[in-house]
Amino acid sequence: MKEPGVERSPSLGLFAGFGIELEYMIVDSKELSVLPVSDQLLKQVAGRFVNEVEVGELAWSNELALHVVELKTNGPAATLNGLAAFFQRDIARINRLLADLGGRLMPTAMHPWMDPHSETRLWPHEYSPIYEAFNRIFGCQGHGWSNLQSMHINLPFANDREFARLHAAIRLILPILPALAASSPIMDRRTTGTMDNRLAVYRDNAKRVPSVSGHVIPEAVFTRRDYERRILEKIYRDLQPYDPEGILHYEWVNARGAIARFDRDAIEIRVLDVQECPAADLAFAALIVTVLRALTEEAWQDLRRQRQWEVASLAAIYTGAVRDAEMTIIEDRAYLEAFGYPERGRCRAHELWQHLIESLLFNSQSPTTEWHEMLKNYLRYGSLARRIVTATGDSPTRQRITEVYRSLADCLATGASFAP
């Protein structure tokens, strides 16, 4: 199965290339209900049913559900600068093609009223045996499988030494990523009180075989040999009774929040909800990469200490961020010190991100201003999930939800930020 992102290349070292993947819902342009026509969309470009088409700097591909389309860098990009414009260009083209099918693209990580048990349509073409295997084992008619859209960031490494540095840094930052990128506060037509419902359901979508997702935070392993032995081989062994043919015996079946892709020498970060437009997603990607650079360079904590962080400690912070996004309170002083947070005691995740944004990006050593507007929007209004709830209210009607999500679809179409 061809997978997106950074292709394997021994010459790509740390931060020498970037693979970005953005997933969007296809919805009916009038009612905004899910519209399962991604195969028809790709056929309009390729002339036949295919799972992927290359369109210059980007590629478009299918996902498990027919109402989702993924846009991704066509191989590793040398820089994040300018990528948002390519994604925005292709979104405009896709919206034009979808107009003939009565549809349009809609952002955020979950459809607010989709009933996955009655509305899910799985991809029926190439690679369908893989999707059928997932469905047979886990049952894909659920929110955690068929109602979720995310951004993935693929970052390369050249050898075990670089893998150790990158994996340690990514494990450390994962718990606070939902505090930055949560965009799924509404599920089943109601606000649930959880800001990142996508990740809340994602956590349990493979509970029949718990080792597939583990505790979402990856285990503390820092060589390829140990990763394959402690994580991948256990997953394959636990899947064997349900998948004796080995259809799913690939690295990508691993559903942790960040997964090692030794087939292309990269780590793929998976816990980011997709935002209202590519400019916002790429601003967050640039921020995350900047923080990861600082961590791998041991700006605040040496590698030895970074490698000692236990899953339980990181998972506790992650769980709070999934629930409360930027308003979650971080009380682990050692965790705050790992990011050079200047105050003692505790803080909200928003304050930690403000510290990182202002110290690493809003300074004279980082003159790039491409990301500043979207990051300022986050600092001013909070996560997209918080802005959505502010706009809809705590007990919204279907009409109000539709109005807000139509505005979000307009933001995606025009590349604008969403403010409540």
Residue 263's region, left for phi above 0, alpha for psi from -120 to 50, else beta, is alpha
Average pLDDT across the chain, whole number: 93
Reply yes or no on whether the pLDDT at 6 is more than 90.
Answer: no
Element (H, E) at 260: strand 258-261
For residue 305, the SS3 value is: helix
- Give the model confidence (pLDDT) of 139-151 as tens digits: 777 788 889 999 9
> For the residues 98-102, what does the mean pLDDT come to?
97
- Give the model confidence (pLDDT) of 228-277 as tens digits: 999 999 999 999 999 998 888 899 899 999 999 999 999 999 999 999 99
- Report which of 109, 42, 27, 410 is spatially closest to residue 275, judged by C-alpha positions: 109
- Residue ranges of domains in the chain, CATH in brackets: 19-411 (3.30.590.20)
> Taking a C-beta distance cutoff of 8 angstroms, is the pair 308, 319 a contact?
no
Compute the CA torsion angle 94, 73, 45, 29 (nearest 10 deg). -20
And the tokens for 408? 């979000």
> For the residues 168-178, what does the mean pLDDT come to?
98
- Report which of 44, 66, 48, 69 is spatially closest to residue 58, judged by C-alpha positions: 69
Reply yes or no on whether the pLDDT at 156 is more than 50.
Answer: yes
pLDDT for res 11: 63
Q: Which residue has the tokens 């209004």?
A: 381
> Which of these ranges, 56-65, 140-149, 314-323, 334-343, has the smallest mean pLDDT?
140-149
pLDDT band for 412, please (50, 70, 90 cuts): very high
**What is the C-alpha separation between 101 and 333, in angstroms, rounded?**
53
> For the residues 77-83, what does the mean pLDDT come to?
96
pLDDT band for 368, please (50, 70, 90 cuts): low
DSSP E strands: which ranges in 35-165? 52-55, 58-62, 68-73, 103-106, 150-156
Neighbours of 373 (CB within 10 A): 12
